[in-house]
Structures are given as C-alpha cells and as structure tokens.
Amino acid sequence: MAGRKKTARKTAENSTARKKSTKMRNSSAHLLRKSVILTTVAVFALWLLSGLASAGLASQIKTQISEAILQASATAGFAVGEVTLTGRHHTDAEELRRLLNLEAGAPVFAFSPEKAAARIAKIAWVEDVSIRRSLPDKIEIILTERIPAAVWQHAGRQSVIDRNGIVLAEDDISDFHGLPLLIGRDAAEHAREILTMLHAEPALHPYFGSAARIGGRRWDMILSGGTRVKLPENDPEHALAQMMKLHNQEGILDIDWIHIDLRTEGRVIFKPERHAAANGTQTASTSTSTSTSTSTSTSISTPALPPSASANGI
C-alpha cells in the first residue's frame, strides 16, 4: 500500500514537471513569435515610410494633417474676421490686398505676418511696414510711407521721387505738380542736396521754379521769372545763402535777370535782360571790394545795385 502511494506521488511529480517544462517551452515560443511579429511590423513600417517619402507622399500627409488642424482652429474661432490698416495715403489699395493674400474666414494661424510684410516692403511707397496677429481673429497692418519730395524730369518723362531719389510714381503724377521740379539724368541721385538748400532758404520758395543738373557736377536754379541762378560745384549752400542775404538787402530777385552767376567765390555776377540793358541797366558783379565792375562791354553801373551793395562781403 505504501509502495503504491509512493509510486502515485512520484507519477504526479513527474506530470507536474512535464507541465512546467511544456509551459516554459510554450512561453519561450510565444515571446519568440511576438518578437518576430514586432520586428516584421517595424521593418514593414520603415519600408512603407521610405516608399512614401520617396514618392513625396509623406509631405502630403503632413500637409493634410496641418490643414486639418488649421481648419479646426478656424472652427474654434481663430479665423480672420477683421483687417485694420493705418498709415496708407498713396500706396495702392488693390496692390496691398493682392500682396496680403487674405480671405475672410481663413485660419488666422495660416497667415504669416513676416512673409506678408516682406512682400509689401517691396512697394516703392512703403518705407516701413509692421504686421501682426491680434488673436483671436484680427490682423493689424501699420504702414510708414515715403514722403514725396520732388518731381524728377528726365528723357521726356516725369516721376515723383522722395528726398533720396527713390521713384514713387510714374504713370499719374497730376497730384504732385506743386513739388519742386528737378531736371537731369542724375538729378534724382542728388535730390537731397538741392532740397536741403531749398529748405534752408524759405525766402527763396516764392521765386523758385526748377533746378537742373549741369554736367553731372553742379546745379542751376531756374526761377519762376526765368532767371537762371548758376550755383558753384563746391559749397553751393554758402553761395546761395550769400545771394539770399543780398536779396534781403537789395531785392535782387525782383529784377529781371538772364542769369545770376555764383560760380566765382566771393562774387555775384548779374546779367540783365536785353531790354533792361538797352534802358541803361547792365551786367554787374559785386565783390568784397567797394567798387562795382562790369562783365560786358558796357561800363555804366546798374541803378539796381548802388555802390553800397558792393560792400556786402559776397
């Protein structure tokens, strides 16, 4: 009896051991199969992504996901509802709309203020531009425009320019004919120089007609009555200031001259109209000396410039 019990116990132990061994073998096989499956999936995924990338589809999928997110944000209220613009006076509104490329209701996060500002900054009128989003639905645009300073005439065409000579308008300049007229191929390039001289002499403004570049070196001013003021190449500001000083004392710009020559340092040379010369008024020059000399064949002194005018230190 005891022997049978012992044999049964041993048989049970052997059975348990076999079950454990089988379970261990099954577990190892399961892990191996799982590892093989995961490896296969990973390899397949890498192959698929590689194929998508080579076909350009990965980028398309990314774009589709981004568009879905942007549309969701617009649905949530982050959509363009208002665009404000300040500082526009001359910039073409239609060109601004085209370069902004904005539509009402579009996702506000799909709009790039930096890219839009870079496009708008290329407009000639625009000196500076600031664009920003104001969440949830507003786009704010602030323009700083260039200031029209003169009309430039060259090769039969007229253009509006700023002080730096940048061309602002060419086709329709009818609104800008009150600006100073600058004539010559390189007049725009040197606009700041002549405009600064004009600004420094406000008493000259009622007499000023236009300014012309001469030989690419200097300026002539043509007054509204036709008198040509010949400015020197060097230090024209000083020469013009000396002429205006003489005008304030003697009213020389109220006389009809063919030209007033300022090119000789320390001297102002006047050439009268022909009819004035026939009546006894002649070309004269004033200098730092106390005498008044002539620069034509006539030798009578001009009644418009008494001897006292020659002592003005010009």
Q: Provide the 3-class DSSP secondary structure of residue 259.
A: strand
Q: Which of 115, 108, 116, 100 is nearest to 80 (CA)?
A: 108
* Cis bond upstream, residue 206 (ω within 30): no
Report the distance separating Cα 149 and Cα 90, nearest Å: 13
pTM: 0.67
**Boundaries of CATH 3.10.20.310 in the chain?**
78-145
Sign of CA dihedral 160, 165, 208, 248: positive
Phi, psi angle pair for 139, to nearest 5°:
-120, 125
Supply the DSSP string of 150-197, one letter for each residue: EEEEETTEEEEE-TT--EEESS--GGGTTSPEEESTTTTTTHHHHHHH
Give the number of C-alpha atoms closer than 13 A to the C-alpha of residue 6, restricted to the C-beta side: 3
Q: Which residues of the chain register pLDDT less than 50?
A: 5, 24-25, 34-39, 41-46, 48-50, 52, 280-314
- Overall fold of domain 78-145: Ubiquitin-like (UB roll) (3.10.20)
Report the distance separating Cα 249 and Cα 189, nearest Å: 34
Q: Which of 191, 197, 144, 194 is nearest to 166 (CA)?
A: 191
Q: Element (H or E) spanning 258, and its range?
A: strand 257-261
For the chain, the helix, strand and coil percentages under 3-state DSSP, each to the nearest 5: 45, 25, 35
pLDDT number for residue 27: 55
pLDDT number for residue 306: 32
Q: SS3 sequence, 213-234?
A: EECCCEEEEEECCCCEEECCCC
Q: Provide the 3-class DSSP secondary structure of residue 60.
A: helix
204-251 pLDDT per residue, tens = 999 999 999 999 999 999 999 999 999 999 999 999 999 999 999 999
pLDDT number for residue 125: 97
Amino acid identity, residue 81? G
Phi, psi angle pair for 187, to nearest 5°:
-65, -40
pLDDT number for residue 257: 95
Q: Within a 10 A sphere around the Cβ of 222, how many other Cβ atoms?
A: 17
The tokens describing 235, both together, are: 């230090």
pLDDT number for residue 55: 55
Contacts of 116-124 with CB under 8 Å at 24 or more apart are: 120/96, 123/91, 123/92, 123/95, 123/96, 123/99, 124/166, 124/167, 124/168, 124/169
- The CATH superfamily holding the domain 150-311 is Cell division protein FtsQ/DivIB (3.40.50.11690)
**Boundaries of CATH 3.40.50.11690 in the chain?**
150-311
